[in-house]
Structure 1
Amino acid sequence: MAKPNMITKGDLIAFAKACLADQGIERFTLRAVADRAGVTQGTVYYHFRTKEQLLLDMVKDICERSWDELSGSRDNVVKHALDTAKSRCSGESFYHTLFFTLMVAGLNHEKVREQIGDLLQKENKALADNLTRIWSRPPVKGIPLETWGVLLNAIVDGLALQALMIKDFPVDRMYEALELLFGSLSHMTDQEEVT
């Protein structure tokens, strides 16, 4: 395969995000990304063998940027994490539409499934690591911090799914409740462990 021109993989991901945001997932193709970037389709194929691989790399890029930002946050990590998740929770969520589309594709495509699974495990670990920054010990005896990371990730993804599917889903109310829940749990770690 010929070497691509001077465009980077990161540049193509940025063009792909813009293309997806403008055209939607239904009309998203590698050709559309190439046209948007002003390169040949072969250049896109050089970096991404399939449309699914480009979509996965887009999701990974969004996640990595989010985790980097969260890891740099020093004050109220849970509030910052919930605010970030809430900002992507809507009926038109670019990120979650992309993420759930890939999850569905992964049901029938083992390689996509493995990569989405790896991404979920990284998210779970990142959440657990951030929770260790604010909780000296788990707030409920018998539930380790790693499990809290998985639970928080599942709650956020579940809320996003409902926001995509239910018109007028009460995102603000749900995130206020979630913030109260984690605030209460944080106070528990300052007191005796709950048995």
Structure 2
Amino acid sequence: MAKPNVISKRDLLKCAKDCLVDRGIDKFTLRAVADTAGVTQGTVYYHFRTKEQLLLDIVQDICDTSWEELSRSNETLIKQAIESAKSRCSYDSFFHKLFFTLVASSFNHEKIRGQLGEIMMSENKALSERLASLWAESPIEGISLGTWGILINSMVDGLALQALLQKDFPVEETFEKLEQLFKELGNLLNKEAK
């Protein structure tokens, strides 16, 4: 078996992401990843035993990367989260092309589907926990902070999907309004606290 002396696992993962976006899931093979990375297929096998393992590692990596940005201070959480989401929201967004390619492929791969589901649940939970550090309670009675986490995550993914499908999607305006929505929700809480 080839030794990984030519490329690191991290660099190979980046090449695999590029390959997946460029070729699509149907033409995504360990051989194609090796070609993209300029290494032998044995090098790819050394790091990733199967295509499924590689896809699972890609899923985990993109989600870990996106959450690193939100692990900073609470005082600008909403603004940071919106800026982060907006920066990846475009017609040519590599991040979301990759993410939605993985989502589509997961419908035929139960293990990938399960891992994506777990990642989504952990994102929802993390969002809810971050909101709890900002809001003592939900700004709207009957909507739990857990539900807010799910709703926010869904809104961001939905906006990304629309931007991928519409060249003229109004990203700036939409994210300005999303930020305004969260400011108004915060104002609701402040009024009720007084």
TM-score range, shorter chain: 0.7 to 0.9
Matches for 1:171-186 after TM superposition, within 5 Å: 171-186=171-186
SS at match of 1:191: helix
Q: 1:58 aligned to 2:35?
A: no
Tell me the TM-score normalized by structure 1. 0.86
In structure 1, the residue matched to 2:24 is: 25
In structure 2, the residue matched to 1:134 is: 134
In the superposition, relative to structure 1, how do residues 24 and 188 fare at CA in structure 2: closer, same or farther (>3 Å)? Answer: farther
Matches for 1:3-152 after TM superposition, within 5 Å: 4-6=3-5, 7-20=7-20, 23-25=22-24, 28-152=28-152
- Contact residue 56 and residue 102 of structure 1 kept, 8 A: no
SS at match of 2:155: helix
Residue 129 of structure 1 aligns to which amino acid in structure 2? E
SS at match of 1:5: coil
In 1, the alpha carbon distance for the partners of 2:125 and 2:3 equals 35
Residue 51 of structure 2 aligns to which amino acid in structure 1? K
Alpha-carbon distance, 1:52 to partner: 4.5
Percent identical:
56
Number of equivalences: 191
Tell me the TM-score normalized by structure 2. 0.86
In 2, the alpha carbon distance for the partners of 1:51 and 1:176 equals 40
In 2, the alpha carbon distance for the partners of 1:14 and 1:132 equals 34
Which stretch shifts more, 182-191 or 43-52? 43-52
In structure 2, the gaps of 5 or more residues are none
CA RMSD of superposed structures (Å): 2.2
- Contact residue 17 and residue 98 of structure 2 kept, 8 A: no
- Contact residue 55 and residue 98 of structure 1 kept, 8 A: no
1:132-161 CA-partner distances (Å, limit 9, x unpaired): 221121111121111100000000111111
In the superposition, relative to structure 1, how do residues 109 and 28 fare at CA in structure 2: closer, same or farther (>3 Å)? Answer: closer
- Contact residue 34 and residue 40 of structure 1 kept, 8 A: yes
